[in-house]
Amino acid sequence: GSVKLASSDPFTFPLMDSNYFATAFDLFTMRETVKAARQFVTASPWRDLVNEWFGAMGAVETYAEIVAAARDSVLTIWHPTSSARMSPKGARHGVVDPDLLVKHVAGLRVVDASVCPAIPACHTTAPVYILAERASALIKAAWYLK
């Protein structure tokens, strides 16, 4: 995916393209996830607790229907990460270096979950606390504060 500036106005939302379902593997993963979820909730003891399917995925059966429903309903609303990924110093990829400094921009740091190189396998609060602690040490060191 990508995040691009829509304008020079800092109050204008950026243009975000999550690039969901860009590859055949993305589509395969969605199909298999839907199949696994259905298998799970139709097994005992869940079978008696599920009255009906909910939402767009409720009525889909074929591969094409699963893909169409997924394209219409999948979105990111919980704790997006990794839109300004950290990479090694000197690497051409990535937005920030290990000191959390934006590459090719003097004096600008990013200290939030967007710098995570990959989505954390946990709630994002803990990694953000760790980043904030690291950033405070880096900033103090840069300003020679103890």
**pLDDT confidence of residue 134:** 96
pTM for the whole structure: 0.62
**Contact between residue 144 and residue 138 where contact means Cβ atoms under 8 Å apart:** no
**pLDDT confidence of residue 146:** 61
Place of tokens 């904030």: 132
Q: Which long-range contacts (CB under 8 A, 24 or more apart) does 127-136 make?
A: 131/100, 134/100, 135/100, 135/109, 135/111
Q: Quote the CA–CA distance of 7 and 12 in Å, as a whole number.
A: 7
Q: For residues 74-88, b (16+ Cβ closer than 10 Å) or e, as one string? A: eeeeeeebbbbbbbe
Which are the catalytic amino acids? 79, 123
**pLDDT confidence of residue 95:** 96
Q: How many CB atoms lie within 10 A of CB 119?
A: 14
Q: How many residues does the chain have?
A: 146
Helix (H, G, I), strand (E, B) or coil at 59: helix
Q: Quote the CA–CA distance of 95 and 83 in Å, as a whole number.
A: 8
**pLDDT confidence of residue 75:** 79
Place of tokens 């934006």: 102
What residue ranges of the chain have pLDDT lower than 70?
Answer: 146
**pLDDT confidence of residue 101:** 97
**pLDDT confidence of residue 20:** 85
